[in-house]
Structure 1
Amino acid sequence: MSTIKTSDGTTLFYKDWGPKDAQPIVFHHGWPLSGDDWDNQMLYFLERGYRVVAHDRRGHGRSDQTDTGNDMDTYAADVADLARALDLRNAVHIGHSTGGGEVARYAARAEAGRVARAVLIGAVPPVMVASAANPDGIPLEVFDGFRAALIANRAQFFRDIPAGPFYGFNRDGAKVSEGMIDNWWRQGMAGGAKAHYDCIKAFSETDFTEDLEAITVPVLLIHGEDDQIVPIANSAHKAIRLLRNGTLKTYPGLSHGLFATHPEIINPDLLAFIRA
């Protein structure tokens, strides 16, 4: 397996395919998954001559099951360690959900020349949880429910999410993929329960407002209009107003996991943005 050691000694697993002198595209997965969630996109861009990289966030997939450092500052620092180790320059960073938050924080702080463009898909920024400053956010009790369900029966919880709202399989007339549900469960159960528990706070309570305002490279926001996990009104519709050079593209009827259910639509849009 290909791994690096981060600054605090954590082992991160990564995949790095394609010509090492080609432009890198770096994929950042959502909670509680792994780099395998991007297999379709990695193969698609590999065939088009790009270098494609995906890592398993600490505590997820094949990386160390950390009990500390499961927060956005550390996640972004880990990406910086990966970029230095693989000498990733002029890279396009694509993040889904929690991974979108990771991309935003990393891109806002990255060394000059490391990041060329960024894509946030169904991403959590600017902030999910409701507060006095974000009164129309999601109540904290919802995320407390996530934590309780994870503790009570993580295996069942990780079955219910993809079988229901994640891919929109709970909608009338949805074409349900049992393989996609099983693959979500497989990825989730490979990670560590403590890291997954901590990450709920990281993705729901982190405020990315200053990160979005600080990013200078072009950013594409992609969001399904029927996203039941990260509702578009509280995320992309707010995030686009904070970006200096942002573009928002939404998809009627599509879910939180739209890049997995509809790669034939999303992949060409990603390619067009990267080539623009």
Structure 2
Amino acid sequence: MATITTSDGTNLFYKDWGLKGAQPVMFHHGWPLSADDWDSQMLFFLSQGYRVIAADRRGHGRSDQTDTGNEMDTYAADVAAIVKALDLQDVIHIGHSTGGGEVVRYAAQAEPGRVAKAVLIGAVPPVMVKSDKNPNGIPMEVFDGFREALSRNRAEFYKSIPNGPFYGFNRKGTEVSQGLIDNWWRQGMAGGAKAHYDCIKAFSETDFTDDLEAITVPILFLHGEDDQIVPIENSAHKAVRLVRDGTLKTYPGLSHGLFATHPEVVNPDLLAFVRH
């Protein structure tokens, strides 16, 4: 397996496909998944002549199951370590959900020339949890429920999420893919419980407002209008107003996992932005 070792000794697994001289597209997965969640997009962009890279976040997938560093600053530092190790320039960074937060935190402080553009799909910025500053956010009790369910029976919890709100399979008339459900569970259970537990705080409580305001490269926001995990009103609608060069495209009726359920719709939109 291809890995790099970070400054704190954590081994991070990554995939790196395509010609090394081609423009790189780097994918950042959501909680509690792995680089495998991007199979469709990686194969698609590879076929279009791009170099494609995706890593398993620390504590997830095939990377080390760390008990520390499971927060956004370290996630962003891990991205920087991979980018530096592979000497990537002018990268298109595409992040989903928690991975969108990771992209934003990294891009806001990346070395000049490293980031060309960014795409946030169903992403958590600017901040998820409800507070006095974010009165329309999701109540803390919801995330406490995530932690309790993970601690009590992680395997069952990781069946309920993809079976229901993640892909919108709880909506009447939706075509259910058992393969997607099983693959979600497989990816989730490959990671570490401690890292996944800590990551709930990272994706729900981190405020990315300053990061969004600091980014100068073009950013595309893609969001399903029926996203039950990261409601669009509290995320993309707010985030796009905070960036200097942002574009928002929404998808009526589509879910949080829209790029997996509808790659034939999302992939061309990603390619158009990357090529523009």
TM-score of Structure 1 vs Structure 2, range by shorter chain: over 0.9
1:140-151 alignment, distance < 5 Å: 140-151=140-151
C-alpha distance in 1, partners of 2:115/2:240?
A: 19
Task: Tell me the number of residue pairs that the alignment of Structure 1 and Structure 2 aligns.
Answer: 276
C-alpha distance in 1 between matches for 2:163 and 2:39:
20
Compute the displacement of 1:143 (Å): 0.0
Q: Supply the distance in 1 between the matched residues of 2:87 and 2:260 (Cα, whole angstroms).
A: 28
* Structure 2 counterparts to residues 121-200 of structure 1, below 5 A: 121-200=121-200
Which consecutive residues of structure 2, in runs of 5 or more, have no partner in the other structure?
A: none
What is the one-letter code of the residue matched to 1:248? L
User: Which residue number corresponds to residue 110 of structure 1?
Assistant: 110
Q: Distance in 2 between matches of 1:116 and 1:256?
A: 25
Q: Which residue of 2 aligns with 1:47?
A: 47
In structure 2, what is the equivalent of residue 272 of structure 1? 272
Return 5+ residue gaps in structure 1 as ranges. none
Q: Return the TM-score normalized by structure 2.
A: 1.00
Give deviations 1:119-147, integer Å, cap 9, x for gaps: 00000000000011001100000000000
| 1:62 matches 2:35 | no
2:202 matches 1:202: yes
Q: In the aligned structure 2, how far is the partner of 1:79 from the partner of 1:66?
A: 16
CA distance in 2, matches of 1:90, 1:205: 30
Q: 1:219 corresponds to which letter in structure 2?
A: I
Say whether the 8 Å CA contact 1:117–1:274 is kept in structure 2.
yes
In structure 2, the residue matched to 1:101 is 101
Compute the displacement of 1:9 (Å). 1.0
Alignment deviations for residues 104-126 of structure 1 (CA, whole Å, 9 cap, x no partner)? 00000000000000000000000
Residue type matched to 2:177 in 1? S
For the residues of structure 1 that align with 2:247 and 2:54, how far apart are their CA atoms? 24
Partner of 1:15: 15
TM-score, normalisation: structure 1: 1.00
* Structure 1 equivalent of residue 220 of structure 2: 220
* Percent of aligned pairs with the same amino acid: 79
Post-superposition shift, 1:8? 1.1
Distance in structure 2 (CA, Å) of the matches to 1:8 and 1:247? 37
- C-alpha deviations, 1:152-184, integer Å up to 9, x for none? 100000000000000000000010000100000
Deviations 1:181-216 (A, max 9, x none): 000000000000000000000000000000000000
Q: Distance in 1 between matches of 2:20 and 2:217?
A: 23
Name the CA distance, whole Å, in 1 between partners of 2:30 and 2:194. 16
1:239 aligns with 2:242: no
Q: Give the aligned CA root-mean-square deviation in angstroms.
A: 0.3
Amino acid in the other structure paired with 1:168? G
Aligned residue for 2:63, secondary structure, equals coil
> In 2, distance between residues paired with 1:30 and 1:88?
22
Q: Following the alignment from structure 1 to structure 2, what is the Cα–Cα distance between the partners of residues 222 and 131?
A: 25
Deviations 1:35-89 (A, max 9, x none): 0000000000001100000000000000000000000000000000000000110
Task: Decide whether the 8 Å contact of 1:7 with 1:78 is kept in 2.
Answer: no
